[in-house]
Structure 1
């Protein structure tokens, strides 16, 4: 597993890929925010206050707009709030999220802005089923969403059991078949 982590740490996408991915993240976040008027109202109150989100070498600085959405800031913008994921392993972060826990974070800066960001994290959710229904209709969207929830529950259950517990204290079960006879088979 250390080899996989070191490999993931050594692989760096080109700068244009990182830039485009950050643009897509902002578009997605704004799509979700546009469905939540209360979230937009909260963001309007924090207009133009940069928030830097960092995980290892990857970072993204966003600021709320007058419309209650988010925009990327210039690289030289001084953040008023810094949110740093303290878990460096992608596997550990995924395991935390899949088991329903929040990954470890270090938050420094404007307390009111931090409270608004915490409220957003706790209360704003992407309504996948609603977006799917616009594409395929209500009934198929409901069926797909139900199947996705079942799959997510199965993954959560699996992640909750990982890594496997040591069975050193438990005795080995008896073999299910008797050992072979020493003589020739009849």
Structure 2
């Protein structure tokens, strides 16, 4: 008897729920965006090539959107990011077209980039794409500063094993395709 992926069952259940469009309070959105900018700059500052590429794009505005979540960033002269003023006109708009959070998570765990609708400056889009392809957060290095090298390495190894197992599972699920129970 063939079975379906638990992800497709969960997604079907979540889509059947009559959830209203709940908007978080403005202060929560504001604070979350500030924290995201801090994290992005922390990651960027560790890559000299990334900051030099962004410095060449100073003053350029990128608007990113997925479903109800949107964020507009501006490149600074230092090669970092800041939130753009509300009246800033975006030079580039990136909109993730996948609506389902579960499908998006599955694609990312497989190592696939999500489908994105791109509007605006082609050169800026190429720079953003370079950043996405080449800049990685060395979480293990940051963790080692807090808890030490050996524990950070052990946690990193465990996390890599979990991600590898999830990728194998998703690869096997995708290869088998959704099937129905045989009668």
Show CA shifts across 1:84-130 (max 9, x none).
10001111111110111111001111111111000000000000111
Q: Which consecutive aligned stretches of 4+ in structure 1 deviate over 3 angstroms post-superposition?
A: 5-9, 161-165
Distance in 2 between residues matched to 1:56 and 1:126, nearest whole Å? 25
Number of equivalences = 170
1:23 pairs with one of 30, 34, 39: 34
Distance in 2 between residues matched to 1:93 and 1:9, nearest whole Å? 21
Higher percent of residues as helix: 2
2:50 pairs with one of 25, 36, 39: 39
Partner in structure 1 of residue 8 of structure 2: none
Cα distance, 1:3 vs. partner? Answer: 5.1
| Relative contact order, higher structure (CA 8 A, sep 6+) | 2
Distance change >3 Å, CA 68–CA 123, structure 1 → 2: same
Give 1 or 2 for the bigger CA radius of gyration: 1
1:4 pairs with one of 14, 36, 51: 14
Q: RMSD of the TM alignment (CA)? A: 2.0
Distance change >3 Å, CA 92–CA 104, structure 1 → 2: same
User: TM-score when scaled to structure 1?
Assistant: 0.84
Partner in structure 2 of residue 67 of structure 1: 78
User: TM-score when scaled to structure 2?
Assistant: 0.85
Partner in structure 1 of residue 6 of structure 2: none
